[in-house]
Copies of this chain bind each other. A is one copy, B any other.
């Protein structure tokens, strides 16, 4: 079973993550982690920050001679911007002269207001440093290690953007070879596999930049290669769709998630919707995947397909109406450097959270303390009880 914790403020010295419970013997390099970090930093509409930072996670523990030891894995991503924030984000009280002015005008849509009440902070800086989506860089780094493990069992987690700034990509996962679709998405500046839609999405972002506004969208994720039976119907908190839904909604700015036919499933009748089962040479076959790969809270052998809705970001260059909480007067929300659109990045974070969420259902089924042990178990698992 894995556990992980992350720490670090957006303009503090670094992000830190610890991943406990990984088996020994997994080959992993900092370069492989860097690859996913770079994917997260890409995308049309990102802000200035992404140009300052070129995220690279340093492995501080748990790996030796290129392989995991079984001990906790510690990663550190330095914040290059920290140099400019040493006083403003000082661990020690720098004294009256150097202390920076308090922020008191919360951004609608962000953690600022509720976080300051919850933690009794009279300076919104104390909230927004941790509520920033910069924290997701560490999730992506930790997940990159786990991705390596899942890949060795043929499990792939991939994503593409299907809607952005009001533009819909006509493609869905089933229209196409998945490999082609994701190859195109991977090279797209908005992570969209459809060229026409891509162009319109870029336009939508550019319009938002001009309007000092922000735009949201929807990404789709597909998990292939999962064995049948991850998750369980026997207890509510073991259902795989619930576990994945928590993971998706734990990402900043996500407002909805749906599996397979999702909300449109509510419109159809049972006979229209369900994925009927037919005999196949080996086992069974389906002609549709309305279930999105999950039946009864378990992976059913089909690709897991889910879509996640991201709202437009809450940090606008033309700030929204707000209140100065110190004075009670109407004002505009604080300005914090941010992106205009981060849907393509969010898709990569979505992959990371899906990977992390799938790890324990996977490890629970196969067990083992080393890669060789897990593979031996995986290969030895009994065949179907049928025939």
Contact = CB atoms under 8 A, between A and B. Distances in A.
A29 to B, nearest CB: 7
A182 to B, nearest CB: 21
Contact of A5 (B18, B272, B370): B18
Contacts of A129: 64, 69, 71
Identical chains in the assembly: 4
Q: Which 4 A-B pairs have the closest CB atoms?
A: A111-B296, A367-B367, A118-B229, A256-B258
Interface stretch (A37-45, A47-55, A145-153, A314-322): A314-322
Task: Name A's interface SS.
Answer: mixed
Contact of A64 (B91, B296, B364): B91
A256 B263 contact: yes
Q: Which of A106, A117, A252, A372 has the most CB of B within 10 A?
A: A117
A71 B9 contact: yes
Interface stretch (A173-181, A192-200, A373-381): A373-381
A292 B309 CA distance: 14
Contact of A99 (B65, B113, B265): B65
A248 B246 CA distance: 10
Contact of A60 (B12, B99, B118): B12
Interface in A88-122: 89-94, 99, 104, 106-122
22 contacts: A7-B74, A16-B60, A59-B91, A63-B91, A64-B89, A69-B119, A70-B126, A71-B234, A109-B275, A112-B295, A117-B384, A120-B373, A131-B297, A135-B236, A214-B269, A214-B271, A244-B249, A256-B257, A257-B258, A262-B309, A271-B318, A368-B381
B370 A269 contact: no
A91 B94 CA distance: 36
A362 B217 CA distance: 32
Given A92-B29, A108-B275, A242-B249, A366 B364 contact: no
Contacts of A245: 242, 245-246, 248-249, 257
Contact of A228 (B114, B130, B218, B322): B114
A72 B6 contact: yes
Interface in A295-326: 295-301, 309-314, 316, 318, 320-323, 325-326
A31 B238 CA distance: 31
B255 A247 contact: no
Given A66-B92, A214-B270, A241-B254, A301 B114 contact: yes
A202 interface: no
A30 B91 contact: yes
A234 B70 contact: yes
B65 A94 contact: yes
Interface in A49-87: 59-66, 69-74, 76
B126 A8 contact: no
Given A7-B62, A300-B113, A309-B266, A118 B228 contact: yes
B60 A232 contact: no
A237 interface: yes
Given A108-B275, A114-B295, A72 B265 contact: no
A292 B114 CA distance: 13
Given A7-B74, A122-B385, A270-B316, 4 more contacts: A4-B5, A255-B260, A279-B330, A363-B364
Nearest to A9: B61
